[in-house]
Copies of this chain bind each other. A is one copy, B any other.
């Protein structure tokens, strides 16, 4: 397993659906598996982005906070960055982003990451408010989300693409988080329009899928009654 061709994932999107929102991995441990990543905190505590080894959280007040090594997460991705240039893109909206990326990478049957740095004419993000036990379902918890918009912002988009076959474990398709260069704005991307940006990519041949087997609630849960893929795409789309 090569360091630069492995995507690490802790937890699954599926476990968020019924509200298994306990933190089961620390940021310190996540950083052992990469210097770049995305995730969410215990109780869906904000939206995380890791850039150059530094983790940031966008909370539901819209603040961008540095994240300590003891911060706990139910779900996260990370990898060691070694991006290659893919394209310089202009005038692309989120609706066409995935299509263009797939067309350029020709890699829809494997996992990969895309990084975009540039100028965005409009960015719309969300961050969920942290909930406390007893946790509700993903659909209920995600209702307590804040939506933020900003025009004319310079920043970095980190995207992880997963093949449709892994929908449920991951988000099939692109999962995009954002952080502005001035570290005052970011979150889970709901919509954006890229004016001009440098797009780079990194293909993975390996998904290292880690599961929280020491968490009793996870091991005890009966997933057969959860409407996993619909709920994920409603909440994460």
Residues on B with C-beta less than 8 A from A164 are 223-224
Task: Report which residue of A106, A110, A210, A224 has the largest number of chain B beta carbons within 10 angstroms of its beta carbon.
Answer: A210
- Binary CB contact string for chain A from 96 to 107 against chain B (1 if under 8 A, 0 otherwise): 000000000011
Whether B219 pairs with A109 at a CB distance below 8 angstroms is yes
Whether A207 pairs with B205 at a CB distance below 8 angstroms is no
How far apart are the CA atoms of A131 and B100 in the complex, in Å?
A: 37
A46-54, A165-173, A177-185: which lies at the interface? A165-173
Copies in the complex: 2
Asked if A149 lies at the interface with its beta carbon under 8 angstroms from chain B, I say no
Q: Which chain A residues have a beta carbon within 8 Å of chain B's beta carbons?
A: 1, 12, 14, 106-107, 109-111, 163-166, 168-169, 203, 205-213, 218-221, 223-224, 228
Whether B223 pairs with A165 at a CB distance below 8 angstroms is yes
How far apart are the CA atoms of A113 and B221 in the complex, in Å?
A: 20
How far apart are the CA atoms of A218 and B106 in the complex, in Å?
A: 11
Query: With A14-B165, A223-B109 given, is the CB distance from A206 to B209 under 8 Å?
Result: yes
Residues on B with C-beta less than 8 A from A219 are 106-107, 109-110
Whether B205 pairs with A208 at a CB distance below 8 angstroms is no
How far apart are the CA atoms of A230 and B211 in the complex, in Å?
A: 26
Partner of A203, one of B111, B166, B213: B213
Residues on B with C-beta less than 8 A from A212 are 205
Can you name 16 A-B pairs with beta carbons within 8 Å?
Answer: A1-B208, A106-B219, A106-B220, A109-B213, A109-B221, A110-B219, A163-B223, A165-B168, A165-B223, A203-B213, A205-B212, A206-B209, A207-B209, A208-B208, A208-B209, A209-B209
Whether B208 pairs with A206 at a CB distance below 8 angstroms is yes
How far apart are the CA atoms of A143 and B84 in the complex, in Å?
A: 44
Query: With A14-B165, A165-B169 given, is the CB distance from A211 to B205 under 8 Å?
Result: yes
Whether B209 pairs with A213 at a CB distance below 8 angstroms is no
How far apart are the CA atoms of A211 and B111 in the complex, in Å?
A: 9
- Nearest chain B CB to A7's CB is how many angstroms away? 10
Residues on B with C-beta less than 8 A from A209 are 206-209
- Nearest chain B CB to A29's CB is how many angstroms away? 11
Residues on B with C-beta less than 8 A from A223 are 109, 163-165
Partner of A211, one of B110, B208, B218, B221: B110
Whether A211 pairs with B168 at a CB distance below 8 angstroms is no
